[in-house]
């Protein structure tokens, strides 16, 4: 895609969407310590891989709680106020963490941080559903992935350097970026939705429906859970696997991850624009198969160059899968049902993160890294099958709505 086309998508987005997308760079770009928590717990605290998996699972459980509570926070405050307050609390927690030396207290306070941070993506989704036409939502989510990947590339490169040379300042630096994110959203958010046909008021109170979601939506949530179970091994196991079994230094690993995140940044919007007219379900199925291939190839990346090349199918797949699955899960409902579905959808993703730590830690500790990557590939394949299976519910859903 040409730069002019990317700028066209950007200028067409509503002001609040542009605000949150820009803030995403600060939000993810400031996560210097978060990207290296597994290495910190291994080298700094002396925990085993299985124990680290349990700690990561606690962070995942915190994410489940945060995603589940997101509809309450967004419904009462509106998505912009919820984000600003959340970033302010995160900044304070990070300062507290910087002065904690007890490992148990560190993990418990970190869990609170992950509860707060789980609010960000649901708030973004509610904003997109409120202020963006359905046929353009996948491109907006692609821009989010692109910008957040650029931020993560910055965070991993700087975080790797801080971890090696100035570890005492890494959490303070992260707290500064949390504060900057909150101030940016507060300064540039608009009071009302840019779309006159949606009740997307920033401060609007939602009424979450109490009925049971449809089976098709629940299957999509299960598929999202499996995809996160697969991709969650990337953040949990790759740092330890790369350092302990492939022999990468933390700084080399940081550079490799930064390059991978830059590839996410470069490819996200062009790929999603290319497949914009393709049905989201078809894109999601093909993309998750690519993710499966990418996970299978991880053990073959035993040099920095091969590590990057073996991640290309994963990058292409995840770049297309996430926007398509979010659109499948949250579009086509009224505003209140969208909020409920968004909360449940991201709860399923957070539950996948939770199980990724538990299952991944057990497989890695009991067998090997190669077995773990084969398991991850299988989980992504099952995700693709479930997504394909949801197609059989489409005609029933449409006919029900028509009646």
How many angstroms separate the CA atoms of 386 and 12, rounded? 34
How many angstroms separate the CA atoms of 337 and 385, rounded? 26
For range 179-191, the mean pLDDT: 89
For range 355-363, the mean pLDDT: 83
Mean pLDDT of the chain: 81
Q: What is the pLDDT of residue 8?
A: 66
How many angstroms separate the CA atoms of 218 and 241, rounded? 33
- DSSP for 230-279 reads HHHHHHHHHHHHHHHTS---HHHHHHHHHHHHHHHHHHHHHHHHHTTTS-
Tell me how crowded residue 312 is: count the other CB atoms within 10 A of its CB.
Answer: 16
Residue 136 DSSP code: G
Q: Helix, strand, or coil here: 21?
A: helix
Question: Does residue 332 carry a pLDDT above 80?
Answer: no
Tens digit of pLDDT for each residue in 290-311? 999 999 999 999 899 999 999 9
Domains in the chain: ranges and CATH: 14-192+213-402 (1.20.1250.20)
Per-residue confidence at 356, pLDDT binned at 50, 70, 90? confident
Per-residue confidence at 395, pLDDT binned at 50, 70, 90? very low
How many angstroms separate the CA atoms of 222 and 390, rounded? 11
Give 109's contacts (C-beta < 8 A, 6+ positions apart). Answer: 93, 96, 97, 100
Q: What is the pLDDT of residue 260?
A: 84
How many angstroms separate the CA atoms of 215 and 11, rounded? 37
Tell me how crowded residue 398 is: count the other CB atoms within 10 A of its CB.
Answer: 11
Candidate from 40-49, 67-76, 266-275, 316-325 with smallest mean pLDDT? 40-49
- Kindly report the CA angle at 140 between 36 and 307, in degrees rounded to 5? 35
The answer, as to whether pTM is greater than 0.85, is no
**Better-predicted residue by pLDDT, 54 or 176:** 176
- Under a CB-based contact definition with an 8 Å cutoff, are residues 58 and 111 in contact? yes
**Better-predicted residue by pLDDT, 204 or 271:** 271
Q: What is the pLDDT of residue 212?
A: 52
Question: Does residue 360 carry a pLDDT above 60?
Answer: yes
Question: Does residue 172 carry a pLDDT above 80?
Answer: yes
- DSSP for 23-80 reads HHHHHHHT-TTGGGHHHIIIIIS---HHHHHHHHHHHHHHHHHHHHHHHHHHHHH-HH
**Better-predicted residue by pLDDT, 308 or 39:** 308
Q: What is the pLDDT of residue 193?
A: 46
| CA distances in angstroms from 77 to 48, 106, 202, 380, listed in the order given | 41, 29, 8, 36
Q: What is the pLDDT of residue 387?
A: 94
Question: Does residue 398 carry a pLDDT above 50?
Answer: no
Per-residue confidence at 45, pLDDT binned at 50, 70, 90? low
Question: Does residue 3 carry a pLDDT above 60?
Answer: no
For range 186-191, the mean pLDDT: 83
Tens digit of pLDDT for each residue in 241-300? 888 888 888 778 878 877 887 888 788 888 888 888 888 999 999 999 999 999 999 999
Rg (CA), the chain: 20
Per-residue confidence at 84, pLDDT binned at 50, 70, 90? very high
How many angstroms separate the CA atoms of 343 and 299, rounded? 35
Per-residue confidence at 198, pLDDT binned at 50, 70, 90? very low
Percent of the chain whose pLDDT exceeds 70: 84
Tens digit of pLDDT for each residue in 139-154? 888 888 888 878 887 8
Question: Does residue 103 carry a pLDDT above 90?
Answer: no
């Amino acid at each position: 895609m040409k730069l002019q086309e990317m700028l066209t998508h950007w200028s067409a987005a509503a002001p609040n969407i542009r605000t949150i997308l820009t803030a995403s760079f600060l939000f993810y770009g400031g996560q210097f310590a978060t990207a290296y928590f597994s290495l910190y717990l291994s080298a700094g605290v002396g925990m085993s891989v299985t124990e680290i998996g349990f700690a990561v699972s606690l962070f995942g459980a915190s994410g489940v709680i945060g995603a589940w509570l997101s509809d309450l926070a967004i419904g009462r405050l509106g998505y912009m106020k919820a984000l600003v307050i959340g970033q302010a609390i995160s900044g304070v927690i990070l300062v507290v963490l910087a002065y904690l030396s007890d490992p148990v207290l560190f993990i418990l306070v970190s869990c609170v941080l992950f509860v707060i941070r789980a609010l960000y993506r649901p708030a973004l989704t509610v904003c997109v559903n409120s202020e963006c036409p359905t046929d353009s939502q996948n491109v907006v989510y692609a821009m989010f992935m692109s910008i957040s990947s650029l931020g993560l590339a910055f965070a991993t490169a700087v975080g790797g350097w801080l971890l090696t040379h100035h570890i005492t300042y890494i959490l303070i630096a992260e707290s500064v970026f949390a504060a900057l994110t909150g101030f940016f959203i507060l300064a540039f958010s608009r009071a009302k939705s840019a779309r006159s046909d949606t009740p997307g008021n920033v401060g609007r109170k939602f009424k979450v429906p109490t009925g049971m979601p449809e089976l098709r939506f629940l299957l999509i949530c299960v598929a999202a859970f499996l995809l996160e179970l697969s991709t969650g091994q990337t953040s949990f196991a790759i740092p330890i696997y790369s350092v302990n079994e492939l022999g990468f230094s933390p700084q080399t690993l940081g550079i490799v991850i930064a390059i991978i995140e830059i590839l996410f940044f470069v490819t996200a919007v062009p790929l999603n624009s290319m497949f914009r007219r393709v049905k989201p379900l078809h894109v999601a199925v093909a993309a998750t198969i690519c993710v499966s291939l990418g996970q299978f190839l991880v053990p073959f990346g035993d040099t920095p160059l091969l590590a990057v090349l073996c991640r290309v199918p994963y990058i292409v797949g995840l770049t297309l899968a996430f926007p398509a699955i979010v659109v499948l899960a949250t579009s086509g409902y009224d505003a209140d049902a969208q909020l409920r579905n968004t909360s449940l959808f991201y709860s399923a993703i957070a539950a996948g993160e939770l199980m990724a730590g538990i299952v991944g830690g057990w497989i890695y500790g009991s067998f090997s890294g190669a077995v773990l990557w084969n398991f991850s590939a299988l989980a992504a394949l099952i995700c693709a099958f479930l997504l394909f299976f949801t197609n059989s519910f489409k005609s029933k859903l449409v006919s029900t709505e028509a009646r």
